[in-house]
A and B are shown apart, each in its own frame.
Chain A
Amino acid sequence: QKEVEQNSGPLSVPEGAIASLNCTYSDRGSQSFFWYRQYSGKSPELIMFIYSNGDKEDGRFTAQLNKASQYVSLLIRDSQPSDSATYLCAAHTGTASKLTFGTGTRLQVTL
């Protein structure tokens, strides 16, 4: 079992809709969670991080964390074609300073 699991997709949503991306993790020692966006041929870039239970909003993006269920999600409101990319979920285990990624979910925003 991978430490961080994501559905590989592709997830297809129409422009203007809400995209919901999900991630589960297995290590209860994980303390922080990150969402990265990666365009084809490019390096990952950070969208958001979260480490407290609940929701965290930043513009069109909302990250949600449920430590009891070991579940992290990313909502993208008003999806744009420029949001089409692979979204990588990562878990950071602070004591070991280990940063583990999921396989990524490919998002396609259609016109």
Chain B
Amino acid sequence: NAGVTQTPKFQVLKTGQSMTLQCAQDMNHNSMYWYRQDPGMGLRLIYYSASEGTTDKGEVPNGYNVSRLNKREFSLRLESAAPSQTSVYFCASSEIVRSTEAFFGQGTRLTVV
């Protein structure tokens, strides 16, 4: 039972490079989320997807794009990486009922130089 799996775990990019962070869940959850975490900033919502085929902007969407490929997978793309995007990225999934917790992946530590 893998839960939420993120790849890669670590990545170093040069400014201007692009990359896609992958996330997959095996819990049949409808909702999926991408967060970034910076020191002292908590978890800031980048994008979320309430269900397959829908995506919405969160608090800090600029510089990112997402794709809800199917119910299991939700990817985050950086088209032109900037040093300000150096962060730890977490993917999470949950159900759309009020008492269901969100399950987190192990995080991706991204450094943009």
Contacts and interface: CB of A to CB of B under 8 A. Distances in A.
A61 interface: no
A97 B42 contact: no
Contacts of B56: 96, 98
B98 A51 contact: yes
Interface in B31-88: 31, 33, 35, 40-45, 48, 50-51, 56, 58-59
B101 interface: yes
Given A34-B101, A43-B104, A43-B107, A97 B43 contact: no
Chain B contact surface mostly: loop
Interface of A: 3, 6, 8, 31-32, 34, 43-46, 49, 51, 88, 90, 92, 94, 96-104
Given A49-B99, A98-B50, A103-B42, 7 more contacts: A6-B42, A43-B106, A46-B102, A90-B43, A94-B97, A97-B51, A99-B33
